[in-house]
Amino acid sequence: MKRFCFISLIFCALGINLQAQEPLQVTLDQALEIALAESNTIKIADMTVEKSGYAKKGSYAALYPNVNISSSYQRTLLKQVMVMDMGGQAMEIKVGRDNNISASASASMPLVNAPLWESLKLSALDVEMAVEQARSSKVSMISQVKQAFYGVLLAKESLAVMTQVYENAQANYEKTMQRYQVGKASELEKLRAQVNVMNAEPNVSSAENAVLLATWQLKAVMGLNLDTDIEAVGGLSDYTEQLLTPYVSEDNIENNSSMIQLDIQNRMLESNIRMQKKQYLPTLAASINYNYSAMGDDELRWFPSSNAALSLNIPVFDGFQKHYNIKQSKIAKDMLDVQRQDTERQIRIAIRNYNDRIALCVKNYTAANATVEIAEKSYQISEKMYEVGKATLVELNDAQLALEQALLNQAQAIYNFMVAKASLDELLGKE
């Protein structure tokens, strides 16, 4: 119930219609805002950043004094007996008191510790990595929502085409029946017209199911319950302006998340190598202790004590462990450099592929757009000629099939362009 109310508030804030029994009208921008607010992937990424931030703050605790307070109470059940030789005779002496109480406070902190200071830089890089991974999740989510939204629009375009084909088939069947009744059409033409109607009806049902499945996919990536009734607002034709705008190929990968994360990993390895090298340096720590204790049987006597100390640790020999650790880290860094080169090569190949696909989609749309105009005119002519008996039903069906295919090709070209553009934006790290 709380989740539904929260989603409803989001819809209200975005100006979405919430009338009962009517689908929620969602534009692409609104779908993106809802996805970024509701997606579990984004929530996990944000929590990871918050967790890394706390880890970074926790690492700074090593720079502050470490203060501890302790106390203890000891009750002697059986005192220790010491035997001493006194004038040739053995004398037994009980040692200790019945009650022993102590309380102490101690504080210590590092004064000179180069490896510790370098480890703090690693903690900062961990936070930077978490932030970049969260940004990567956001960029990926935006691309998924866009592609799912375009998928719904393509399914709606296909449904519109199939519905138009079905309506044309019905209209042609009625005209054929009229001509058949007055003896101007054969029974074969009547049967063909009837078959066309029967063939077009399942295509409409399939197109409706495709819209439903595409809408489910959109709701899934938006983080909405599948029972929420939404409707994608707009059509693929709304994006023809972007398609017809002169396109300039892009190849700037400085915002690519994979490359940024590899760079952060490289800096982390460099910092790790510096930290391991600094383990050869001495460390200096300071500590202070104050103790208050008491002993006695019936009456306690308290005795305070205190001390301060400086601890100097100079590493001399550890069996070459630090040396080999540094060697391993350097090899790991070399491996990462090779991986970075290979990743950059693959990314640039993918960018060229997307740029080529975008250019091809523009060409396909231009050709499909011209074909649609010709196919519409051809169908209109065939329809008029069929009405006056100068064209056969087969010719009319061929004209309708050509128009159907041209409309689908036009919608597919726009869809392919927008999907390729969304994938390219994700690869380039655009938000």
Q: The tokens 């929502």 sit on which residue?
A: 145
- Residue 423, pLDDT > 90, answer yes
Count of C-beta atoms within a 10 Å radius of residue 154:
23
Q: How confident is the prediction for the chain on average, in pLDDT?
A: 88
Determine whether 220 is exposed, middle or buried from the number of CB atoms within 10 Å of its CB (0-12, 13-18, 19+): middle
Confidence of residue 82 (pLDDT cuts 50, 70, 90): confident
Which two structure tokens, joined as six digits, stand for 79?
């005192």
Question: For the chain, what is the domain count?
Answer: 1
Q: Which residues contact 327 (CB under 8 A, 6 or more apart)?
A: none
- What CA dihedral angle connects 127, 129, 130 and 135, to 10 degrees? 130
- Residue 9, pLDDT > 60, answer no
Confirm if 166 and 197 have CB atoms less than 8 A apart: yes
Q: Which residues contact 422 (CB under 8 A, 6 or more apart)?
A: 142, 143, 146, 147, 150
Count of C-beta atoms within a 10 Å radius of residue 260:
19
Q: How far apart are CA 186 and CA 83, in angstroms?
A: 135
Would residue 18 count as lying in a domain? no
- Residue 97, pLDDT > 90, answer no
SS3 state at 75: strand
Would residue 124 count as lying in a domain? yes
Would residue 229 count as lying in a domain? yes
| Mean pLDDT, rounded, for 44-70 | 89
* Residue in 272, 276, 268 with CA at minimum distance from that of residue 127: 268
Give the model's pLDDT for residue 131.
92
The sign one gets for the Cα dihedral 403, 407, 410, 412 is negative
Would residue 329 count as lying in a domain? yes
Give the model's pLDDT for residue 7.
47
Which amino acid does the sequence have at 74? Q
- Residue 4, pLDDT > 50, answer no
Determine whether 280 is exposed, middle or buried from the number of CB atoms within 10 Å of its CB (0-12, 13-18, 19+): middle
Query: Which domain does 272 fall in, by range?
Result: 29-38+113-280+316-428
Would residue 68 count as lying in a domain? no
Q: For residue 245, give the CATH number of its domain.
A: 1.20.1600.10
Give the model's pLDDT for residue 21.
55
- Residue 264, pLDDT > 70, answer yes
Which two structure tokens, joined as six digits, stand for 415?
């869809």
Confidence of residue 19 (pLDDT cuts 50, 70, 90): very low
Would residue 72 count as lying in a domain? no
Give the model's pLDDT for residue 13.
45
| Mean pLDDT, rounded, for 139-145 | 94
Could you report the per-residue pLDDT of 173-214, keeping only the tens digit for each? 888 888 888 888 888 888 888 888 899 899 999 999 999 999
Q: How far apart are CA 154 and CA 156, in angstroms?
A: 5
Element (H or E) spanning 87, and its range? Answer: none
Confidence of residue 159 (pLDDT cuts 50, 70, 90): very high
Would residue 335 count as lying in a domain? yes
- Residue 164, pLDDT > 80, answer yes
Fill in the DSSP letter of residue 18.
-
Which residues, listed in sequence order, are joined to residue 310 by a DSSP beta bridge?
286
Give the model's pLDDT for residue 6.
43
| Mean pLDDT, rounded, for 72-87 | 82
Give the model's pLDDT for residue 5.
45
Roughly what angle, to the nearest 10 degrees, separates helices 114-181 and 187-222?
A: 160
Lowest mean pLDDT among 170-174, 204-208, 243-247, 284-288: 243-247
- Residue 165, pLDDT > 50, answer yes
Could you report the per-residue pLDDT of 368-414, keeping only the tens digit for each? 999 999 998 998 888 888 777 787 778 888 888 898 999 999 999 99
Could you report the per-residue pLDDT of 327-341, keeping only the tens digit for each? 999 999 999 999 999
Would residue 120 count as lying in a domain? yes
